[in-house]
């Protein structure tokens, strides 16, 4: 299980979630300048995420969901989050 960032994050990217994640599994971070500039949203690494839930309540646009609770219209984001980390390996 993991948490997922969905469509409401698009072009918001305020990084409130990054600040609270205890295992730094939300990327790209602001210090990854090139990747951060290109990304339209942030992604959670499903392997590193420890399912603590700290990120979910701090998101100002309610873009973060536990995997099992992702609304049907945003289910594609489960793969989109995971794929971001496959590409960067």
Residues that bind ligand SF4 (CB under 6 A): 3, 5, 9, 12-17, 20-21, 23, 25-26, 42, 44, 49-55, 58-59, 61, 63-64
CB of 59 to ligand SF4, least distance (A): 3
Nearer to ligand SF4 by Cβ, of 66 and 87: the residue is: 66
Q: What span, in angstroms and rounded, lies between the C-alpha atoms of 59 and 85?
A: 21
Least distance from C-beta 57 to ligand SF4, angstroms? 10
> Would you state the structure tokens that stand for residue 43, as one six-digit string?
């992604």
Neighbouring residues of 38: CB distance < 8 A, sequence distance ≥ 6: none
CB of 72 to ligand SF4, least distance (A): 19
- Closest to ligand SF4 by CB, 23 or 35: 23
Element (H, E) at 65: strand 64-66
Beta strand 26-27 pairing with 43-44? antiparallel
3-state secondary structure of 8: helix
Comparison of 35 and 50: residue with beta carbon closer to ligand SF4: 50
């Amino acid at each position: 299980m993991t948490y997922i960032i969905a469509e409401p994050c698009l072009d918001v990217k305020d990084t409130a979630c990054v600040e609270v994640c205890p295992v730094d599994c939300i990327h790209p971070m602001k210090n990854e300048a090139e990747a951060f500039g290109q990304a339209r949203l942030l992604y959670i690494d499903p392997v590193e995420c420890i399912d603590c839930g700290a990120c979910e309540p701090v998101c100002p646009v309610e873009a973060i969901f536990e995997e099992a609770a992702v609304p049907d219209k945003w289910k594609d984001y489960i793969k989109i989050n995971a794929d971001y980390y496959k590409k960067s390996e």
